[in-house]
Structure 1
C-alpha cells in the first residue's frame, strides 16, 4: 500500500504551494510497518515525518523545491524491504529512503544502498556493525546503548542483575553488552532469559525471575510484547522485588500509556521526551502535537531527525545526488530539538546524548496515569564509544 504523507499545518501547505508552483517535489521514500509488534511505532513514526516535512517546507524546502514523503508499508521482512526499496527508487524516483527499518532489515538493506544509488538513513535499528558509503544511522547503535548504560551503572552501582530480552539479534546484542559491562564494574548477571517474539504468555519467564531475584532487572522487550510483559508481571509484583529496573526500549513513550501503572519505577533510557528543556525541544513538541494530537516520543524524534538531516545535507550539497549528499552528511552538525548532533564521518553514526528517566505517577492535572521524570542526561562526549574497527567504507 502506498501513502503520500502531506504536511498538515496551514503554514506548511502555503509554503509548499508556493514552491510547487515552479518545480516538482523532492521525493523521500519511507518504509513503514503497520502490523505486528512494531505497529505500536507506526503512528508516532508517521507524525514525526509529517512534522519534519512541515518544517522543511516552511523553511523553503530542499534546494528550493518542496519535499514529499512517499510512504509504502511492508511486512517488516528483509526480502519485502528490499523489494519495496527498489520500487521506491526505480518507480517513484525517491532521492533517499528512511522509515521503520528494524535490525534484520537494516542488515540486509545497508549493503544495497550503493547499488540502489540512494541514501538510506536509518532511524530505528540499533544492532550490528554495517558500513556503506550511502548508509547512515540516526538511531543509537548497540555499542552506544551499552556505553550509555555503563556510564549510568557507574553512577548507580548494583551488585547483581537479571536480564529478560526478546530472542532477536538486537535482544541478544543488548543483553550481552549489558552483561559484559556489569561484570567489568564488579557485578554479576544471575539470570539471562530470552523470550519468543512475538509472545502472548510470559508466565514461565516471570516464574523464573521470581525465584531469588537479583538486585536489578534489565528488560529488553519491545512494543506490544513489552506491554504484555508489564501487565502480566504486575499480577505477581515482579518489578517491586527489584531495587532497580532498567528498560531498554521497554517502557518507551509509544507504549507507556498502555502499560500504565504496571511500569511505575522503571528507569528508561530514551533519546527524547517532552520534559527536555529548551526552545528547540518546545518548538518540536508543539509542532508535533498539532499534527498528532499528543506529545512526541523518542521514535517520533528519531524519524523527524532523519528527515531534518537529509534536508540539511541536500541543501548543503546543492543537489540530491547520492554521492554528493553522502559527502555532505559526513561530519554534518544537525540542528535538533535537543541541540547540535554530529553525524560522525568515520562510521556514519549520529552522536547524541542519552536521557535516563523514571516512570512515575502522572500529575493530577496532567490527564496522564503515568509520566517521566528525568534522572540524568549523559552527554555524548561522556560515553560515546569510538567507531568500530570493522567499519571500512
Structure 2
C-alpha cells in the first residue's frame, strides 16, 4: 500500500521572526496534496499553486495580521491516505481548514472525515458529480464533469461538427475517468442524439491499446470521447493515429492540461476538450499563469501553462483568506472549534472573485464556474468556445 507523507511547509516570509513562534501567532491551514503515486504528474503542480498563494498572502501581511502556516500531507494518490491526512491535520496539527484533497477518489473518502471532525474541507480538483451532496463541511471551488462535458457537446453542435456516431474509451481504475466513461459520457451523448457503442475500458497501467483501438477503427465513428489522464490519452491518440483513424478526439476536464500540446504532438491536432481556466481572462489570471510556470520550472516541473486544477488550488487559498478575514479568525487554540465553525458558516451565501472568475457563487456546495472549450489547433492551445458560469438559485 502506498503510504502518505506529512510535511510542514511555510513560505519564507511566513515565519520570519527572531523568537520562538507560538501557535496563536500563525493561522494554521492544512493541505492534502499529491506528490507521488499515479496522480503525481497532474497533482504535484497544484502544490506550486498553493505555495504561490501562501507566499503572496504572507508577504502582503498575512491574514488579520498573522501569517499562514501550511501543513501538507502527501496521500501518495491513495484515497485511504486522504482519510489519514484529514485526521492528522485536524486532530494532531489542529488546522483551521483543509485545502484538498486533489482527486475525486480521495475527496470521496476524506469528506466523510471532515464531517465527523467538523472542519471545512475544500477539494481542489475533484469534479465527480454529487461529491458534496448532503455535506455540511465539504465545499468545492470546482465545476463538475457533467456540466463541462455538456458545454463541449453544445459547442460542437453549434459549430456544425460531425457528431452522429462516437466511441468511448475510459480508464477503469480511476474514479472520475470510470464514472465519466461508464455513466456520464454515455448519458450526455445519448441526450445529444449521438449513436455510441459500449464504452471500452483500459487500465491506467495499460501500455498496449492496439486491440481497443482496432475496435474503434473498425466502427470509424465521427469522434472518440476519452476519459483519461493526459498520459493515457496521449497513448490512445498515438495508437489511433498509427491505425489510421481520422476523426476527432474529445474529452472533458480530465486531460485539460496545456502540457498535452507536447504529449499529443502533431497527432493531437483537432482535439477538443473543456477547461475551467483561461490564462488571458484578466491581468491577474495571466500574472498567476506566468508566475506558476516559472516557479514550476524552478522546481523541476515542466509546465506549458496552468491547469484549471492549479488555478482552483490557488483561488481556494484566497477563498480561505476571505473567510478568515470576515470571521476575524485569530488562530487561538482555545477557540479552535469555534473558529472552525465560523469558517464553515461563512461559506453560506459567499461571493468570491479570483483568477477563475468574478463574483463566483455556490449552488449547493459547488461553485458555478465558466467553461472554456479548447481546441488544439496549429499546435497551440486555442479557445474554440466559452460558456459563462450558471447563476445560483
TM-score, length-normalised on structure 2?
0.84
> Closer, same or farther in 2 for the Cα pair 1:34/1:100, shift >3 Å?
same
Distance of 1:174 and 1:359 partners within structure 2: 22
Distance between the aligned counterparts of 1:116 and 1:311, measured in 2? 21
Equivalent residue in structure 1 for 2:285, among 261, 281, 285:
281
* Change beyond 3 A, Cα 1:109–1:46: same
Of 195, 201, 204, which aligns to 2:208? 201
Within 5 Å, give how 1:294-373 maps onto structure 2: 295-319=305-329, 321-344=339-362, 346-361=363-378, 370-373=379-382
- Distance, in Å, in 2 between the alignment partners of 1:227 and 1:214 is 19
* Cα distance in 2 between the residues matched to 1:191 and 1:6: 49
Matching residue of 1:138: 141
Q: Which has the higher strand share?
A: 1
Match of 1:37 in 2: 38
How far the C-alpha of 1:126 sits from its partner, in A, is 1.4
Q: Does 1:170 align with 2:176?
A: yes
Report SS of the residue matched to 2:374.
strand
CA displacement at 1:356 relative to structure 2: 0.7
Residue 104 (structure 1) aligned with residue 110 (structure 2): no
Query: How far did 1:270 drift?
Result: 0.8
| 1:214 counterpart (215, 221, 231) | 221
Please state how far the C-alpha of 1:325 moved relative to its aligned partner: 0.8
**Residue 54 of structure 1: SS of its match in structure 2?**
helix
Match of 1:151 among 137, 151, 154: 154
How many residues are treated as equivalent by the alignment?
Answer: 366
Contact 1:280–1:339 under 8 Å retained in 2:
no
Deviation of 1:90 (Å): 1.5
The gaps in structure 1 that reach 5 residues or longer are 362-369, 388-393
Structure 1 residues 143, 302: closer, same or farther in 2, change over 3 A? same
Distance in 2 of aligned mates of 1:330 and 1:254:
36
Q: Which of these residues, 261, 270, 273, is aligned with residue 268 of structure 1?
A: 273
The DSSP-based 3-state class of the residue aligned with 1:326 is helix
**Match of residue 365 from structure 1:** none
RMSD: 2.6
Residues 168 and 200, structure 2, Cα contact 8 Å, conserved in 1? yes
Contact 1:127/1:173, CA 8 A, preserved across alignment: yes
Alignment match, 2:383: 374
Counterpart-to-counterpart distance in 1, 2:72 and 2:260: 23
Give the Cα separation in 2 of the matches to 1:338 and 1:106. 21
Scaled by the length of structure 1, the TM-score of the pair is 0.84
Cross-structure match for 2:75: 74
> How far apart, in 2, do the equivalents of 1:285 and 1:18 lie?
31
> Quick one: structure 1 residues 18 and 282, their matched pair in 2 at CA, closer, same or farther if it must change by over 3 Å?
farther
Structure 2 gap segments, 5+ residues each: 298-302, 332-338
Q: Cα offset for 1:112?
A: 2.1
